[in-house]
Amino acid sequence: MIVDISTDVGAAVRELREVLGTKVHTDVPTRASRAHDRSHHDWSIPEAVVSCTTTEDVSCALAVCFRHGVAVVPIGAGTGLEGGANSSGGNVCIDLSPMNRILHLGVADLDATVQAGVMKSALNAAAAPHGLCFPAGPGVDASFGGMASTRASGTNAVAYGTMRANVLGLTVVLADGTVVTTGGLARKSSAGYDLTALFVGSEGTLGIITEVSVRLYGIPATTATAVVPFPTLGAAVSSVSAAIAAGVPLSRIELMDDVMVGAMNSYSDLSLKEAPTLLVEFEGGPASVAEHVDRFEAIASGRGALGYEFAADPRRRDELWQARHDALPAAAALRPGSSTWSTDVCVPISRLADCIEETQADIAAEGVLAPIAGHVGDGNFHLAFVVDTEVTAEREAAQAVNERLVRRAVAMGGTCTGEHGIGTGKRAALRLEHGEGVRVMEAIKAALDPRQLLNPGKVL
Q: Give me the residue spans of the domains in the chain.
A: 9-98, 102-218, 222-325, 329-421
CB neighbour list of residue 374: distance below 8 Å, 6 or more residues apart: 254, 255, 256, 352, 356, 380, 381, 382
pLDDT tens-digit readout, 223-257: 999 999 999 999 999 999 999 999 999 999 999 99
> How far is Cα 289 from Cα 226, in angstroms, rounded to an integer?
11
Angle at CA of residue 333, ends 331 and 334, nearest 5°: 70
The pLDDT-based confidence of 366 (bands split at 50, 70, 90) is very high
pLDDT tens-digit readout, 62-117: 999 999 999 999 999 999 999 999 998 899 999 999 999 999 999 999 999 999 99
Query: Per-residue pLDDT averaged across 144-164, rounded?
Result: 94
> How far is Cα 173 from Cα 167, in angstroms, rounded to an integer?
17
User: What pLDDT, on a 0 to 100 scale, did the predictor assign at position 25?
Assistant: 98
Q: Give CATH for domain 329-421.
A: 3.30.70.2740
Helical segments of 341-391, H only: 349-366
Chain-centroid distance, C-alpha 292: 29
- Helix, coil or strand: residue 75: strand
DSSP code for 155:
T
Angle at CA of residue 127, ends 97 and 151, nearest 5°: 50
pLDDT tens-digit readout, 263-307: 999 999 999 999 999 999 999 999 999 999 999 999 999 999 999
Q: Considering the domain delimited by 9-98, tell me its CATH architecture.
A: 2-Layer Sandwich (3.30)
User: What pLDDT, on a 0 to 100 scale, did the predictor assign at position 7?
Assistant: 60
Q: Does the structural domain 222-325 have CATH classification 3.30.70.2190?
A: yes
**Residue 101: how many other CB atoms lie within 10 Å:** 14
Asked whether residue 5 carries a pLDDT value surpassing 60, the answer given is: no
Contact 322, 269 (CB under 8 A): no
Report the chain's mean pLDDT, rounded to a whole number: 95
Q: Give CATH for domain 102-218.
A: 3.30.465.10
CB neighbour list of residue 352: distance below 8 Å, 6 or more residues apart: 237, 374, 376, 379, 381
Same fold, 222-325 and 329-421: yes
Alpha-carbon distance values, 215 to 10, 101, 120, 362 (Å): 42, 17, 13, 41
The pLDDT-based confidence of 368 (bands split at 50, 70, 90) is very high
pTM above 0.75, yes or no: yes
User: What pLDDT, on a 0 to 100 scale, did the predictor assign at position 389?
Assistant: 86
